[in-house]
Structure 1
Amino acid sequence: MNYCDLLFDTQEQDLGREIIIDGESGKRLTFKELQAEVMKVANFLKSKGYEPGTVIATHLYNGAEAAIVFLAIEYIGCVVCLVDPLFKAEEVPYYIKDSGSKCIVTYLEKEEIEGGLTSKVDVINVSEIQEVCEKNDYQQTLPMYDFKEDELALLLYTSGSTSTPKGVMLTTGCFYTFLKKNHQSMYRYEPDDRILCFVPFSHGFGSISVLIPALAYKAGIVFQKTFHPAKVAEIVLKENITHMLGVPTHYRQLLRFEPFINNLGKLKAAFCSAAPISSEVANLWYEKTGIYLDEGYGMSEATTLIATRMSRLPSASGDVGFPPEGIISVDIVDDNGTVVEDGTIGEIRVTGQGLMLGYLNRPEETKERLRNGYLYTGDLGYRNPDGSFVVCGRKTEFINVAGLKISPVEVETALNSHSDVIDSAAVGVEDNVYGEVVKAFVIKKQNSSLTERELIKYVSERLANFKVPKYISFVHEFPRNNLGKVDKKALKNM
């Protein structure tokens, strides 16, 4: 079993199809050409003595090389450790040391990073990979490594919002479980489909949710290094994009660029994940483009996909639809692990196929997250009578006002419904009387005269008094991570 089977089992009629289009460098690869370049890099890594089980880190922006190196590492049976390319040279050594990586492939120059690493770590600049791929000399055909179903193949690091970042251990079996989940609950791509990937390949969203089904269905991927609304609208037409995957902030920004909306209506589908999206944004997207904004809920610990809402409007903000039947099952439980009634908010708990092996070298944190065959997600939500689920936010992000729990999503939905509000983020701040009160950070439209008092009055007509923000700060932008999620810990410290 090997992820690369999905590439190398490509039939003759599909070998000439394009699989990789690098929007930054202009590099274009057919399935046959990708096979050749993966084999060249696999030989290159093997020649350095890397054996199955060796951890090799990649620190690369979206692009052809990110996919080539990922597949080459998998091909020879090594473990891929994905490191976010936004991390600076000073931050990278933590991930190398924690993962036990013997090698890192990076866009940084060797001298930028070597000082923070032990001499035993091999630093390969991405230019070396490009040179290997460009060589026309004969490359020995290597046998593809056969992973056991439960053998470690990938390390994805969590954001570390409540502790230092942890390595989520996933197997090749997890990849194939994702493919089954995708087949049932997401998109069954056609060979002529083109998927736009501006979500980071260094996260499961890019390396699992985009690459695996593209290889399996013989569709093409168009990589963009960064997200920019104008570039997205342009490339949708230029490359005949059929599917786009992003996070809520991407879609909010795209909706602000009225001249580009017609381009986006040419898509077959658009998918949103990583954070709950407001029903207002989903409804507006449908109104403006004529296509549904599908939504998913997932996490690295479950090999991304847990539930999806497809081809319909949301019933409420955070409506993420149904889990893939027969593959995983989802419950809502209280603090004692007891399943609660439909409509009652509790912790989202998952069991079934595709769960992580655990956190690398973190037995106590693994025990906390994985209990008796269940994955306790740390997210709160509720189940609807029809079996669909609504995500309300992280347990750590819920606001506790005098013992009353408030979902930030609910507050943000009310704020975002104001015509002058572009986006908002609600957090809990300390209060001597109530323990916590709601504080909101709001991005308003340019030239808007909206005041804090006016917005509080507006929201008070839509929310119970204890949910109404006591303070509102107007800001130009939010601190965000590479996936586009608002960094609420950073907001609290502002």
Structure 2
Amino acid sequence: MTLGDILVKGCRDYPENVAFKFKDREWTYKDFEIQTNRAANGLKKLGIGRGDKVGLLMLNSPYFMICYFGIVKLGATVVPLNVMFKGGEVVYQMNDSNAAALITAPMFMPLVSQIRDRMETVNNVIVQDIDQENSYAGTVSLKAILEEEEDSLSLDYTVTVDDIAVFLYTSGTTGNPKGAMLTHDCLVANADQTRIATDSTEDDITLCVLPMFHSFAWTTCVTLPLMCGGKIIIHEGFVPQAFLRTIVEENITIIAAVPTMYSVLLQVPEVNPEDYKKIRVAYSGGAALPVEVLKKIETKYSIRVLEGYGLSECSPVCTVNPWRGVRKPGSIGIVLPGVECRIIDETGRDVPRNTPGELLFKGRNVMRGYYNLPEATAEALRDGWMYTGDIGYMDDEGYIFIVDRKKDLIIVGGLNVYPREVEEVLYSHPKIAEAAVIGVNDELRGEMVKAFITLREGETASEREIKKFCQDRLANYKLPKDVEFVAGLPKTSTGKILKRALKS
């Protein structure tokens, strides 16, 4: 099944079901199918076809989804762009992917206009001018495409499950970002694997506030509910009060959030947990969820949070705590159906249970490689196994626990310190809202531990107080030797703390 087949099936099996709602307007599965066909026909007239790449720079909206599915129905490849990008970052990904076109929204046109001449292969800029009377000079009107093109799509070639559907550029913590190539089969398989693990059905109503350009949102909040015939409520971004109000008003059953969003929700006053009892699945991903945050969010809202794990190269979900059965706080759960996991030591040998090592994953959801980077592909993919660079262990019942990122490991006097262990202790301090730990150079011990901390509103604390708190809970070599209080921690648009920014 291709991504386009999901919509064909939806239009056939439940044409009048609401596929998604944005603000006060609803689109049925039949509406959605027609709109994606029109988008595909318009792109085809512009010369976009199988194997071409198309950038997508938009906030969450129905038009992001319509354009995405229009692109992949042609056998072309989507290059989703982070809406927080500066000009040089957009130029890099457009040029690296050899993108033939860029689809964007009016709010991004000042940026796009400045960099258009630097995007070497982009022949057309299509603008989401839905709510505007005037189009931009030298651009193509998405409004005209969606109003004037044919409702059905006729192709003179076949789109296959092995066609590359999307390039997901990794965060680039080591060197320039790399375009992970994911096929239709990768994305469809991963959505189905997650569906089975969470018992998702046509009756579920999913709230999408995570950015659609990110794989976590696209799989759990878009592809999966569409596969089931469910309903998606779209928000442009995360606004706590609007998020909570929508959960109640729309009878939301599935939410997905990153740990920093859950931390923010803990600070919302006067919450009635009865209002959120219809939430069936609350995903957490994108970064490690501190156990203290998990416990507090479950108590405050009376919901059951399922922490999972994934990476862009795996479409992205690899593991999740099961919806039915045992859920272990602090664990990323068990592997999804159809996904295999190995944990190896530095020699490449499998380690025993309860022994930390590097996590490897294998399955239909794993990427085909990095675009135009054979050496990086060969390093990351070996015999079908994706080498994640993350350190974790599997307990006797098959539950996996992340110890830390391999690249974030701190070595103090020859002893390994895993930042997450220190961060878990810091998060248990009642005055601390957020914390991040890194290693900094130390002449005597090689490295030492440094903690960056944001306090809860109205709280004050001293460096001495924080160190004393840790001293009672950690071995001496793990103790933060330096504590820096900051107003906020640098984050990606998906809420993941940028440790490389703290190290600069």
TM-score of the superposition, structure 2-length normalised?
0.92
SS for the counterpart of 2:186 is helix
Partner of 1:126: 128
How far off its partner does 1:113 sit?
A: 3.2
Partner of 1:160: 172
What is the 5 A alignment of 1:414-433? 414-433=425-444
Does residue 118 of structure 2 align to residue 116 of structure 1?
A: yes
Does residue 347 of structure 2 align to residue 307 of structure 1?
A: no
Does residue 106 of structure 2 align to residue 104 of structure 1?
A: no
SS for the counterpart of 2:10 is coil
In structure 2, the CA distance between the partners of 1:104 and 1:187, relative to structure 1 (3 Å rule), is farther
Quick one: which amino acid aligns to residue 16 of structure 2?
G
Partner of 2:262: 251
Contact preservation (8 Å) 1:82, 1:155: yes
- Number of equivalent positions: 488
Contact preservation (8 Å) 1:194, 1:242: yes
Mapped to 1, the partners of 2:228 and 2:143 lie a distance apart of 30
Contact preservation (8 Å) 2:276, 2:302: no
Does residue 485 of structure 2 align to residue 474 of structure 1?
A: yes
Contact preservation (8 Å) 2:2, 2:161: no
SS for the counterpart of 1:378 is strand
In structure 2, the CA distance between the partners of 1:64 and 1:470, relative to structure 1 (3 Å rule), is same
RMSD after superposition = 1.9
Mapped to 2, the partners of 1:162 and 1:12 lie a distance apart of 46
Q: In structure 1, list runs of 5 or more residues that go unmatched.
A: none
In structure 2, the CA distance between the partners of 1:105 and 1:261, relative to structure 1 (3 Å rule), is farther
Contact preservation (8 Å) 1:330, 1:351: yes
How far off its partner does 1:89 sit?
A: 2.9
How far off its partner does 1:12 sit?
A: 5.4
Quick one: which amino acid aligns to residue 492 of structure 1?
K
Identity level (%): 30
SS for the counterpart of 2:202 is coil
Does residue 276 of structure 2 align to residue 268 of structure 1?
A: no
Partner of 1:21: 21
Partner of 1:296: 308
Q: Deviations over 1:12-38 (max 9, x none)?
A: 562112112124xx4421111111111
How far off its partner does 1:271 sit?
A: 0.7
What is the 5 A alignment of 1:82-481? 82-107=80-105, 108-109=108-109, 111-118=113-120, 120-127=122-129, 130-132=142-144, 135=147, 138-139=150-151, 141-143=153-155, 146-191=158-203, 193-260=204-271, 262=273, 263-311=275-323, 315=328, 317=330, 319-325=331-337, 327-481=338-492
Mapped to 2, the partners of 1:280 and 1:314 lie a distance apart of 15
Mapped to 1, the partners of 2:74 and 2:11 lie a distance apart of 22
SS for the counterpart of 2:251 is coil
How far off its partner does 1:226 sit?
A: 1.5
Quick one: which amino acid aligns to residue 271 of structure 1?
Y
Mapped to 1, the partners of 2:368 and 2:232 lie a distance apart of 29
Mapped to 2, the partners of 1:428 and 1:261 lie a distance apart of 41
SS for the counterpart of 2:461 is coil
Partner of 1:31: 29
Partner of 1:62: 60
In structure 2, the CA distance between the partners of 1:316 and 1:12, relative to structure 1 (3 Å rule), is closer
Quick one: which amino acid aligns to residue 22 of structure 2?
D
Mapped to 2, the partners of 1:183 and 1:241 lie a distance apart of 17
How far off its partner does 1:314 sit?
A: 5.7
In structure 2, the CA distance between the partners of 1:373 and 1:363, relative to structure 1 (3 Å rule), is same
Contact preservation (8 Å) 1:279, 1:314: no
Contact preservation (8 Å) 2:215, 2:312: yes
Quick one: which amino acid aligns to residue 288 of structure 2?
P
Q: Deviations over 1:392-440 (max 9, x none)?
A: 2211111111121111111111011111111111111111111111100
In structure 2, the CA distance between the partners of 1:459 and 1:258, relative to structure 1 (3 Å rule), is same
SS for the counterpart of 2:480 is coil
Quick one: which amino acid aligns to residue 321 of structure 2?
R
Quick one: which amino acid aligns to residue 14 of structure 1?
Y
Quick one: which amino acid aligns to residue 491 of structure 1?
L
Mapped to 1, the partners of 2:167 and 2:307 lie a distance apart of 25
How far off its partner does 1:118 sit?
A: 2.8
Mapped to 1, the partners of 2:326 and 2:261 lie a distance apart of 18
Q: In structure 2, list runs of 5 or more residues that go unmatched.
A: 130-139
How far off its partner does 1:446 sit?
A: 2.3
How far off its partner does 1:209 sit?
A: 2.6
Mapped to 2, the partners of 1:160 and 1:237 lie a distance apart of 38
In structure 2, the CA distance between the partners of 1:138 and 1:103, relative to structure 1 (3 Å rule), is closer
Q: Deviations over 1:337-385 (max 9, x none)?
A: 1111222111101123221110001111111101122111011111101
Mapped to 2, the partners of 1:119 and 1:343 lie a distance apart of 50
Mapped to 2, the partners of 1:129 and 1:197 lie a distance apart of 26
How far off its partner does 1:133 sit?
A: 5.8
Contact preservation (8 Å) 1:279, 1:315: no
Mapped to 1, the partners of 2:432 and 2:191 lie a distance apart of 39
In structure 2, the CA distance between the partners of 1:145 and 1:426, relative to structure 1 (3 Å rule), is farther
Quick one: which amino acid aligns to residue 179 of structure 1?
A
Larger CA deviation: 366-375 vs 254-263: 254-263
Contact preservation (8 Å) 2:435, 2:452: yes
Mapped to 1, the partners of 2:396 and 2:43 lie a distance apart of 53
Mapped to 2, the partners of 1:140 and 1:373 lie a distance apart of 38
How far off its partner does 1:333 sit?
A: 0.7
Quick one: which amino acid aligns to residue 5 of structure 1?
D
SS for the counterpart of 1:9 is helix
Larger CA deviation: 111-120 vs 395-404: 111-120
Larger CA deviation: 76-85 vs 159-168: 76-85
In structure 2, the CA distance between the partners of 1:104 and 1:290, relative to structure 1 (3 Å rule), is same
Quick one: which amino acid aligns to residue 124 of structure 2?
D
How far off its partner does 1:11 sit?
A: 5.5
Q: Deviations over 1:195-228 (max 9, x none)?
A: 1111111111122232111111111111211112
Partner of 2:495: 484
Larger CA deviation: 131-140 vs 58-67: 131-140
Quick one: which amino acid aligns to residue 118 of structure 2?
G
Contact preservation (8 Å) 2:282, 2:306: yes
In structure 2, the CA distance between the partners of 1:67 and 1:388, relative to structure 1 (3 Å rule), is same
